[in-house]
Structure 1
Amino acid sequence: MRDLVAALGLVLVIEGLSLAAFPAAWRRAMKAILKAPEQPMRIAGLVAGVVGVVLVWLVRAHF
């Protein structure tokens, strides 16, 4: 649970810094996301989740 909270905190730091540095790009990205069909977004989310699990497994098992 400790690792999960640390990971969520790191995500917030990275997203917060990128939002502060590039607000116009975030606005364009949000507009594009609102226009995008759901199925490709769902697939991208699942792929990102699987890649995240694999990365966490690799780090925890090999480093």
Structure 2
Amino acid sequence: MVDMLLLAGALVLFFEGILYALFPDGMKRMMISVLGMPSSSLRISGLVAAIAGVFFVWLLKG
């Protein structure tokens, strides 16, 4: 279980790093647009992403 958690963390770091390395200006624009979004929208988006992540892990482990 710990191995899978570490692997998941490493994959998150990898994909985020690749996005910043390949599209630095796009990531800056995305951050600026996020600052203008209401907190409720960010909260809902984060919750949907978390639920989707749990679902995909469950699907792959099952």
TM-score range for the pair, normalised by the shorter chain length: over 0.9
1: CA distance between counterparts of 2:15 and 2:35?
Answer: 22
In the TM superposition, residue 35 of structure 1 has moved relative to its aligned partner by 1.1
Which stretches of structure 1, 4 residues or more, deviate above 4 A after TM superposition?
none
> C-alpha root-mean-square deviation of aligned residues, in Å?
0.6
Runs of 5+ consecutive residues of structure 2 not aligned to the other structure? none
What count of residue pairs does the alignment treat as equivalent? Answer: 61
Aligned residue type for 2:30: A
TM (norm. structure 2) is 0.94
**What is the percent sequence identity of the aligned residues?**
41
1: CA distance between counterparts of 2:50 and 2:5?
Answer: 14
Q: Is structure 2 residue 27 aligned with structure 1 residue 19?
A: no
Alignment-derived partner of residue 49 in structure 2: 48
What's the CA shift string for 1:15-56, capped at 9, x where partnerless?
101100000000000001111100011001000000000000
TM (norm. structure 1) is 0.93
Aligned residue type for 1:41: L
1: CA distance between counterparts of 2:36 and 2:6?
Answer: 32
Aligned residue type for 1:58: L
